[in-house]
Chain A
Amino acid sequence: MSREDVYLHVRGESTFVDDLAAPAGQLFAAVLGSPVAHGTITRLDASGALQHSGVVRVLTAADIPGENQIGPILPDEPLLADGTVHHVGQPVAVVLAETLAAARRARRDIALEIDPLPPVLDARAAAARGQLLLPARTFALGDVDAAWSRCAQVVTGRADSGAQEHFYLETQGALAVPAENGTVVIHSSTQSPTGVQRQAARVLGVPMHAVEVDVRRLGGGFGGKEDQATPWAVICALGAALTGCAVRLVLDRRDDLVMTGKRHPYSSDFKLGLAEDGEFLAYEVVYYQNAGSAADLSPAILERSLFHATGSYAIANVRATALSCRTNLAPFTAFRGFGGPQAMFVLEAAIDAAARGMGVAARDLQRRNLLREGSVFPYGQTADECHAERCWNEADRAYDFAAIASAAAEHNRSHAGTKKGTAVMPVCFGISFTNPSLNQAGALVHVYADGSVGVATGAVEMGQGVNQKIRRIVAAALGVATARVRLDTTNTSRVANTSPTAASAGADLNGMATRLACLQIRGRLQQFAADRLGGAEPAQIGFADERVLLAGQSTPLDWPELIRSAQLARIDLSAHAHYATPRIAFDKTAEKGRPFAYHVYGTAITEVTLDCLRGTATIDAVRLVHDAGKSIDLATDRGQVEGALAQGLGWMLLEDVTWDEAGRLRQDTAGKYKVPDLGFVPPVLEVAFLEDADNPHAVLGSKGIGEPPLMYGIGAYFALRDALAAARGDLAADYTAPLTCERTLQLLAGRATGHATPNLEESPS
């Protein structure tokens, strides 16, 4: 059974926010962003904009009836700048006009004068100035300081990973429609309907019950709409409240690129100590996270970097310290992986440095140190049902790492113009929100009198297939066809106090809540059917293939008849249920606990080819084994693996985000920011799922899937370094990502400019 929505997608009939019909009298909003990265507003005069025909009103901070504040963790983010600006693109004023063109034209005629202050753009520079969001945090295990003396090899270095733009195809947007008595309905492209509701109520100065947020679907989110859909939705709500008209705001791509945050750049110092036999004895790391100008979700992202400091490896002595540094860039935010990829990249850089120093293959060190059953993470949790070695072994057996590496070496011996490189990337990723209070979900299930089933949850469908998984969960619980089940919009009036759809936990949490609601209804139907079938034991009643079963045997009673008669008999055919992930806890004072319900594992091997003349690389193949538990929907999970991988590859080799010295984004149009296209992704992609891997800690034995496969992309970086090392033996120990064409050529040539002959292997031919 295919996903319900894919039929609509290929016919162009699925509705996104900007496809909603215009309510009568609708106004369009255009946001004026700060042109400078840091400064004091000395003049803000909207009279010029108000001269334009069709302009209804211009909103500034002074118009906000409630609190001018939308920070989700720290109260450091005004909706509209008030007095000072802290990044280029920070919303300062909003034009409301009868047409989009008028709103955008008038925006240019708002007089905004700013006394500039020096911007701080770099995380280390911010740390040196004491600009930390919160005090530094450290996770520790064993005794690192005592371990160094026992190490046969110690490598130190620095690793830097860049920002990444989400580039969801549907830009940020919302439509707010005012209703009676000061209430408002907001249609928002958000991963966090409750977050939008909470902040809109805060800004409007009304109770949350006065704000209804409704989400049909997102045209991609990837974390970029977890918190940063909020300002645009709240601006619409503010406009609607102040004018009494519906307000629509859909950012154009340029505004979206400039005004919204991206994946955090990290700059990190590492020190890895190894025993003679390659065992990782000690690992010390300091992460400088560039948080941007406001906290947004940065503290939570920083925390996940600490949780994933040791990646897929067991290390007995660890000290990982993380600093969240405030700079004058748009607040960096959630992006698939949520700080995990940045941390894993640093450790893989350390392993690469160690392997080259010791003259051994990186994959031998990786294999030697993989997590095993019962291995202890620095945060105190043990690796249970640990599949790190199983995934590695399955992948090695299926793809033969040694054969792939020796084929590359063979190529390199006979080719001077191209070099091949390979790398293995094992992934371990913890599933649960690291903030324990977010690990809860609600679901509302209605069985209608005709036997159809409507489901509302807190999960937002953004292409990840959560609705399809929930349909299957409902179908399994009630014994009906998935075609009977329809997912309603995600709406704060149907299911309240929801967590964002994030952390790869959307299906886990909302699926389980849905299952619990179905089981309530199922219990009532068992009782009813037992009575109808002449006083059988309710426990003997089952439901499968749209029929009622008695002691496993089919009865004449089918689902439509059961429901029709149950409704006439006044049986409650609706249920709400709540699920809270059991057994998770974390003590932030000790930095110890059991933050994750379980971990996801996997291993990938990547092959690349380097063009030694042009300094360009192609990704030839990625082959992987992934632990998806017992998949609820294999096609959906495969799509998640393939899509996350492409984003990881893009982050490592393609997608470059830079700013000029004034803090202006250089890649400010779609023409300048390039995400993977069909020609970039590997022509060979083999995805195998680990078998017999039922997960006891999530719904129907499944596992969260959204984020972990992104980190297979890290393998491409080290595969390209491997190819570069084949081209020149004295490859610089530079670990800067993304490894763009320019960086690749610099490493290949051994310099930034000039043209001295690099040390290339002689070709025998």
Chain B
Amino acid sequence: MERRFLLNDRLVELGPDERGLALAWLRQRQGLCGTKEGCGEGECGACTVLLGELSPRGVVYRAVASCLLPVGELPGRHLVTIEGLNPPTGLNPIQQQFVDEGAPQCGFCFPGMVVSLTGFFLDSADLSVNDGLAALDGNICRCTGYAAIVRAVTALAATYRPLLDPTRARVDQLAEWGILPAAFATAAARLSTLGAPPIERFDTTAPAVLFAGGTDLIVQQPDLPAAADLAYLSRRPELRVIERELDELVIGGAVTIEEFGHAPEFRALVPDAPAIVGRFGSTLIRNRATVAGNLVNASPIGDVTILLLALGAKVVLSRDGRRRTVPLSEFFLGYKQLAREPGELVAAVRVPASVAGDLVSFEKVSQRRFLDIAGVNSAARIRCRDGLLERVTLAVGGVAPVPLSASSTAAYLTGRTLDAATALAAADVLESEIAPISDVRGSAGYKRELARRVLFAHLLRVAPDRLRVEELV
């Protein structure tokens, strides 16, 4: 079983006893302690690393949380830690800018901040300040209040954005600026000689566990990678495709949420997609979590799930070469119960192309705006002409044991002319089809009130001239 990969500037090989999570492996086996453990569930970013993967465009690097990354994902790839970004002496420009702004205080979160910003330099199309700040949406700092961090990002974008030459390979430019060490230049060639098995077999008696992004699975079962064989979906190229197929967009079962949100094929249907997807998790989570994984996780409050439900998506399930398609609205049977047979894999999600031209509205009210689970989330797909609601689909999360297709509410609205009376009556219909419970995200009464209000928010977005907030609440 081939288990070789690039760790910073050197080729390493995992032994058969090395099966856990990358964070612990880096710290305990490699003595690379610049990567810190702050939470163990991808919520703080102190353990951020870059994961590079060979693609036709060269090596694509993504910032990810190493506390949720099984080492079995590493073979054939390039793992970059803060140690791999450090120049031999002195500081690279990101580090220097942080120092110049006097940003670090206790210092625990800063290696992760540097790695995340390196991810920004690798991934951002135009090196805008907003992209730079968004790249830190999964990095928590408890000391600084972020002001000095914002100053540093602003200064970095001001310096490097004008220098960007889109005709050149990004890795080469970053190396020239001193942001990346020279080892990156040869990474593609070195990775091309490596292979990796899609399933790592240690314990052949039990079936391998299907493993996608793992961003929830590892939180629930951190011991899993050490205890079970994992079948890594990221190693199946056919699952990583986003393509238009007649009147549907097909999203492969291992496509990440970040890839999905920024795919030109999806943006053609939902132009607002990057902004909507920016409310899901954090950059670090979206770079690993998959669209299909969000569905299979079956959380009644999953953001991707709610969006796809409103879009009228379908799920393609496969096992042993047999495939069947289930409308997403029929996929959720009960709390954490799916219309999925044991061993069945979500091979793809199909989104109807007829979405194009409809307004797609996403709402999420969470205690913290970013990287938080909503009290209530909701998505709507609405076609409205001169106030006439020609087509409405609505999904609401956090108000039922399953991600809810609010079909009665949608049916009520469809064919009506939008005004305050219609909106209020629709909210009453919505209240009749939800059954929220009180939990850590809010009381049942609060969620009930929120459900009405997110519906109003959709309707205000579709026809801001026909409704006024004060008529509704």
Contact = CB atoms under 8 A, between A and B. Distances in A.
Interface of A: 2-3, 5-16, 18-19, 21-22, 101, 105, 166-171, 217-222, 252-254, 416-417, 462-465, 612-616, 618, 635-636, 638-639, 642-647, 654, 656, 658, 666-667, 669-672, 674-681, 685, 740-742, 745-746, 748-749, 752-755, 757-758, 760-763
A638 B105 CA distance: 11
B228 interface: no
B41 A760 contact: no
Contact of B146 (A462, A678, A757, A763): A678
Contacts of B219: 669, 671
A169 B109 contact: yes
A10 B91 contact: yes
B463 to A, nearest CB: 14
B468 A763 contact: yes
Given A12-B111, A639-B144, A749-B449, A679 B38 contact: no
A672 B105 contact: no
Contacts of B470: 416-417, 760-763
A2 B34 contact: no
A670 to B, nearest CB: 4
Given A741-B375, A752-B445, A753-B445, A613 B457 contact: yes
| Size band of the interface chain B makes with A | 35 or more
A678 B107 contact: no
Given A101-B223, A676-B145, A678-B136, A9 B443 contact: no
A10 B95 contact: yes
Nearest to B31: A21
B435 interface: no
Contacts of B137: 677-679
A13 B85 CA distance: 12
Given A221-B106, A669-B39, A676-B146, 19 more contacts: A6-B98, A6-B99, A9-B104, A253-B39, A416-B468, A613-B456, A636-B102, A639-B105, A669-B43, A670-B44, A672-B440, A678-B136, A678-B146, A678-B370, A679-B369, A679-B370, A741-B366, A741-B442, A752-B445
Contact of A742 (B27, B107, B443): B443
Contacts of A672: 440
A169 B140 contact: yes
B33 A19 contact: yes
B82 interface: yes
Contacts of A647: 142, 145
B36 A16 contact: yes
Among B86, B104, B142, the most chain A Cβ lie within 10 Å of the Cβ of B142
B108 A666 contact: no
Nearest to A673: B43
Contacts of B448: 753
Contact of B102 (A639, A679, A754): A639
A664 to B, nearest CB: 11
A217 B457 contact: no
Contacts of B431: 755
Contact of B142 (A105, A636, A675): A675
Contacts of A615: 365, 449-450, 453
B102 A6 contact: yes
Contacts of A11: 34, 82, 86, 91, 95, 111
A412 B108 CA distance: 42
A491 B140 CA distance: 30
B395 interface: no
Contact of A10 (B27, B104, B136, B371): B104
Give the one of A15, A22, A680 with max B CB within 10 A. A680
Contact of A169 (B83, B108, B114, B473): B108
B326 interface: no
A758 B470 CA distance: 9
Contacts of A169: 36, 38, 44, 46, 106, 108-109, 140-142
Which 4 residue pairs of A and B lie closest in terms of their CB atoms, listed nearest first?
A12-B34, A9-B107, A463-B106, A753-B445
A217 B39 contact: no
Contact of A218 (B82, B83, B106, B453): B106
Contacts of B39: 253, 669-670
B427 A755 contact: yes
B442 A220 contact: no
B95 to A, nearest CB: 4
Contacts of A463: 104-107, 143
Given A169-B140, A219-B36, A6 B446 contact: no
Interface in B417-454: 427, 431, 440, 442-446, 448-450, 452-454
B143 A670 contact: no
Contacts of A7: 91, 99
A677 B136 CA distance: 9
A757 B363 CA distance: 22
A165 to B, nearest CB: 10
Interface string B82-100: 1100100001001100111
A646 B98 contact: no
Contacts of B363: 614
Interface string B364-377: 01111111110100
Contact of A101 (B143, B226, B366, B469): B226
Interface string B315-345: 0000000000000000000000000000000
B150 A220 contact: no
A656 to B, nearest CB: 7
A220 B95 contact: no
Contacts of B81: 12
B110 interface: yes
Nearest to B90: A7
